[in-house]
Amino acid sequence: MSEADVLEKLERIVPGFRGYRDKDFWKEDDALIRKRVAEILDEAKLRVERLITVMKKKSVGAALRLDDLRLELIKASQMLKHAERNEATILEGEHVESKVLEELVQRDYELVSVALRIMERVVSLGMMTDSREFMERLNETIEVVYTLEDSIRKREALVRR
């Protein structure tokens, strides 16, 4: 996918995002991305909490595993909300290599895409009736959250260069 396509998709999903085109708004673009992904994760967490309530009546084991998912969603959301911006970052410089900004845009797109995939998976969990398939899908969803957490760490390492 070209950088222009990625930017267009991010601009549709993240209102106000400028794609790091104007250095005066680099920090704001960074904050918008982190905020939007955290919002998606928080909404997924709320859906999981509702699902836990339902599953407690059917299967305590499934409810406990859903709570694991809930905790991972909270962790990922907190990683985004409380990213340290006290230390020097690439977003504070006068000039940043275009290659670095392109990589940041790719990382941003990855975060948004994975967060949306998590939301889709959480929504589909609520529609499943087969308990074995439900647990498989739930475990896979937790793995996707782990992938997101790894992506968050990689993005933070890029920003703190």
Residues 71-88 pLDDT 10s: 999 999 999 998 766 555
The domain spans of the chain are: 3-11+23-159
**What percent of the chain is predicted at pLDDT more than 70?**
96
Task: Calculate the average pLDDT of the chain.
Answer: 91
What burial letters (b/e) apply to 63-72, b meaning 16+ CB within 10 Å?
bebbeebbeb
- Contact in structure between 103 and 140 (CB atoms under 8 Å): no
Question: 133 versus 99: which is more confidently predicted?
Answer: 133
- Please state, for a pLDDT cut of 90, what percent of the chain lies above it: 71
- CA nearest 37: which of 80, 83, 84, 7? 80
Quote the Cα angle for 79-83-88, to 5°: 155
Helix (H, G, I), strand (E, B), or coil: what is residue 130?
coil
* Fold exhibited by the domain 3-11+23-159: Four Helix Bundle (Hemerythrin (Met), subunit A) (1.20.120)
State the average pLDDT over residues 105-131. Answer: 95
